Amino acid sequence: MTKQGDRASLPSVDRLISSAEGAQLAERYGRTLLLEAVRGVLAGERTRLAADANARCPADDVLAAACASRIEALLRPSLRAVFNLSGTVLHTNLGRALLPEAAVAAAVDAMARPVNLEYDVDGAARGERDSHVEAWLTRLTGAEAAVVVNNNAAAVYLALYALARRREVLVSRGELVEIGGSFRIPDIMASAGCKLREVGTTNRTHPQDFVRAIGTSTGAIMKVHTSNYAIHGFTASVAESELAAIARQHALPLINDLGSGTLVDLEAFGLPHEPTPREAIANGADVVTFSGDKLLGGPQCGLIVGRHDLIAKIRRNPMRRALRLDKIRLAALEAVLRLYARPERLTRDLPTLRMLTRPQVEIRNQAAGILPMIAKATAGLATARIVDSMSQIGSGALPVDTLPSAGIALTPRGKRRSGAADALAAAFRALPVPVIGRISEGELILDLRCLSDEQAFVSQLHQLALLQGAP
């Protein structure tokens, strides 16, 4: 019969909680969490001691430390800050746009105190939550009215649901997009109770294709900005102004889904052109939908702007309540929209535009400054050098356009065996603030376009030294 370890030496739950170390933990974490941790640690020790005849019971302070580690692991936030050195500025998986300081402050203020979310202070009556941003949206887009919901998928859904439910919606076959997370225009249309009517072909659609498709069951014409891909070669599409004329001739609303959406002409900042809501409205769109957390640089939301009568119909739809924005994001959105009143300061005040417009020479100088620290921290693991790279805008915006950037390439030492770069990337992700790079041709590339807190990044690099013996 196998002799068991000294389970009898294990302290009781009460003894460990009542010890000096236990009292400190109870003060720090509360008795409920401590009790759960103590029971878990002691149960694990009983199992270990029962399986090993030579095992010895740890001292009380060691058990208390194990309890503290258990509690801290439980309380560690799942949503954590990371360094985005992937080279994709608006990275969907990393939260897309970073909010400017003014928006963060506005959101915190809205969280901490009661606000007039749906209260008309002057009239002492019930108010409308969209009123806090509607005036700014109409000013910045030229639209007559605006509604805000929780993301652009919801904006598209609500517009279709309110304006064309149980009717056909005409869309060019070349615009039936799918974006990240399996958002597909045909699926959204079906969920909204609309019937998709494909018009034209994948690469060529003509005005007469729309005219011939219009019938008594037609409820709307929809244009979708192909923001995450491009078709080149033998192509043709219907100009938005021409499509608007067809819609007006047949008394149909023209819905334009811009996807990303920017409120300024990006060419003024040396970036490729992206259609704006103002342009869409000027070209005759009746309703325009776009995102708040992409090129606009705000919080996650979906913006719907357009004709007053159609926006009123959308606003009255019961589904709007299920998709509405909370006070925190409304406060942040209003603060971001205010920044656009001073477009000459946007590259300073709006993090998204600031990162998109960083010149390559500035990024290269930053790489030169931190290269020695990275080389020292990864000595024995990899060799480090400065490289030019190409950043992506991300989140489906300007998919074929890239931005000249720079970064640091880390080449695993020795033979480039399979998985060496993956192991190196995993080590950087294991840092207290995970570093997210990208792997290319067996190297880990750290693109520095989005590195703003350089000091915080450098201060944790020394912890990579623990990996010196890593395979």
Give the Cα separation of 172 and 223 in Å (integer): 7
CA-based Rg of the chain, rounded to a whole angstrom? 28
| Residues 320 and 385 grouped into a single domain | no
My answer on whether 233 and 303 are in the same domain is yes
Considering the domain architecture, whether residues 309 and 170 belong to the same structural domain is answered as: yes
pLDDT of residue 400: 61
Rounded Cα distance, 134 and 101, in Å: 22
pLDDT at 335: 98
Q: Distance (Å, rounded) from C-alpha 41 to C-alpha 13? A: 10
**Confidence (pLDDT) at 471:** 42
Nearest of 284, 274, 278, 345 to residue 137 by alpha carbon: 278
Are 107 and 18 in a shared domain? no
Helices (H), ranges, 259-342: 277-282, 308-316, 319-323, 327-339
Residue 269 is encoded by which pair of tokens? 């900042």
In this prediction, residue 470 carries a pLDDT of: 46
Domain contains 45: yes
Instruction: Note the residue count of the chain.
Output: 471
Residues 159 and 193 in one domain: yes
- CATH number of the domain to which 201 belongs: 3.40.640.10
| Plot region of 28 (φ>0 → left; ψ -120 to 50 → alpha; else → beta) | alpha
**Over residues 194-209, mean pLDDT:** 88
pLDDT digits (tens, 9 = 90+) for 23-39: 999 999 999 999 999 99
pLDDT at 395: 67
DSSP string, 164-184: HTTSEEEEEGGG--EEGGGEE
**Number of domains within the chain:** 3
4 lies in some domain: no
pLDDT attached to residue 265: 93
Co-location of 130 and 176 in the same domain: yes
The model's confidence at residue 261, banded by pLDDT at 50, 70 and 90, is confident
Q: Give which of 307, 328, 293, 359 is closest to 154, Cα–Cα.
A: 293
Shared domain for 130 and 182, answered yes or no, is: yes
Report pLDDT for 182. Answer: 61
Q: How many CB atoms lie within 10 A of CB 450?
A: 25
Q: Are 445 and 387 in contact (CB under 8 A)?
A: yes
Per-residue model confidence as pLDDT tens digits over 366-391: 999 999 999 999 998 899 999 999 99
Quick one: 60 and 128 in the same domain? no
pLDDT of residue 402: 87
Residue type, 433: V
Whether 223 maps to a domain, the answer reads yes
Residues 411 and 304 in one domain: no
Query: If pLDDT is split at 50, 70 and 90, which confidence band does 72 have?
Result: very high
The pLDDT of residue 2 is 39
- The answer, as to whether pTM is greater than 0.85, is yes
Whether 336 shows a pLDDT value over 50: the answer reads: yes
Residues 16 and 33 in one domain: yes
232 shares a domain with 215: yes
**Res 397: pLDDT:** 60
Mean pLDDT of 424-432: 94
Has residue 407 been placed in a domain? yes
Q: Is residue 5 part of a domain?
A: no
Which one of 303, 325, 345 terminates a domain?
345
340 and 205 together in one domain:
yes
Domain boundaries, position 384: 83-91+355-467
Say what percent of the chain tops pLDDT 70: 92
- In DSSP terms, which residues pair with 303 in a beta bridge? 148, 290
